[in-house]
Amino acid sequence: MEPGDCTPEAEALFERFASKHGLIYEVETGVPMEVCWTFPAQPKLSMPLTLGLQNYDELNFGVWDFWSYFFPFEQVSEEFERVLDAWVAGDARVLVLRGRARLLQVRECENWKTVYRADGIFFLSHRFPRAVVNNETSERALEQRGVTRSSGPRLGWGCIGLVYASGASLFALISGNWKDFALFLFVGLILLPLFVFGTRRINRIDYGSR
């Protein structure tokens, strides 16, 4: 076992969660993770979810097209377990925002507290979610509403254009070419909305979202 490997503790946490709520699960062995348990849709789960451990101390919670990383294990395991219990109880939700942006929230009294932000740039977009996924939501209901999974991980064209425009405008500024600087700055401002709403996270591995 590697130093700092939290595999036994993660397995104990997942077993405790499954036993507490009477859930059935399958232990996956063909994925590049230290631990990966998948829970199919069942009486207490409206849709499948995945629990995992990566990099020896990184806890993962995945449902629909949402995937999260909680680490280091020692500092986040208690909060992670509370999130799992809240999900089963209907007191946790995922806000589906534009692009791949997602927010995992837990109910606290009458309010919702964000405990994880996944992918994208948010600004005020969290006030206008495309959909809300919780333990009462079914995949079929989302499809009927026209809410589909995000496309595969890729770098959005808005991001590529914005990086190019930013680099070119910086070069023009250093060179003292004010006309080119103004032009590329203008192009960057035009591409900014595409970057905000079209960014894709690079090299994201979604074991629990397919």
- pLDDT tens readout for residues 17-54: 999 999 999 999 999 999 999 999 999 999 999 999 99
- Name the burial class of residue 30, with classes exposed (0-12), middle (13-18) and buried (19+) by CB atoms within 10 angstroms of its CB: exposed
Helix axes 73-89, 7-21, angle to 10 degrees: 20
Top mean pLDDT of 23-32, 126-135, 191-200 is at 23-32
Q: Give the residue-averaged pLDDT of 162-191.
A: 70
Distances (CA, A) of 127 to 26, 40, 187: 36, 31, 28
Is the bond preceding 43 in cis, omega lying within 30 degrees of 0? Answer: no
How many whole angstroms separate alpha carbon 48 and alpha carbon 88? 12
The pair of three-digit structure tokens given for residue 65, joined into one six-digit string: 């097209």
**Residue 191's pLDDT is what?**
61
- Name the burial class of residue 143, with classes exposed (0-12), middle (13-18) and buried (19+) by CB atoms within 10 angstroms of its CB: exposed
**Of 158, 164, 153, which Cα lies nearest the Cα of 195?**
158
- pLDDT tens readout for residues 60-99: 999 999 999 999 999 999 999 999 999 999 999 999 987 7
How does strand 35-39 pair with strand 131-134? unpaired
85/189: higher pLDDT? 85
How far out from the chain centre does Cα 89 lie?
A: 20
Is 177 within 8 Å of 184 (Cβ atoms)?
Answer: no
- The residue type found at 66 is F
